[in-house]
Amino acid sequence: MQIPKQQLREVGWSKATGLVKVARKDGEKFDCATWLHKERELPKQSFKGEVERHHTGKEAESWEIIYFKLYTIQVPVVEKALETAGLMLGTDKLRITAWR
């Protein structure tokens, strides 16, 4: 089932990409009304989590970008701390990006 054009115009770009993922996966079984209701009721991040869960069957791990200033001399210390934390958590996803 297709999403009516008028309702599609009201959907934001980010949520529309989620609806497309679900529609492609479900094909003819796509439940338009249910997904449009979720799109309207849920905040963007929650909706993206629903789409991820539907698409992969797994919970999406939440994440957050944090910005803060460091003195140049502090950068190696923070990089080492993130590397150590990553090893302790068993991940390499912790990283620092320097903006200069």
pLDDT surpasses 60 at 1: no
Averaged pLDDT score across all residues of the chain: 81
Regarding predicted confidence, which is higher, 92 or 78?
A: 78
Whether 73 shows a pLDDT value over 90: the answer reads: yes
Written as six digits, the tokens of 32 are 């338009």
pLDDT-derived band at 3 (thresholds 50, 70, 90) equals low
**How many helices and strands in the chain, by DSSP H and E?**
5, 0
Q: What is the pLDDT of residue 97?
A: 62
Over residues 64-93, the mean pLDDT reads 83
Residue 22 CA to residue 7 CA, distance in Å, equals 16
Quote the pTM value: 0.53
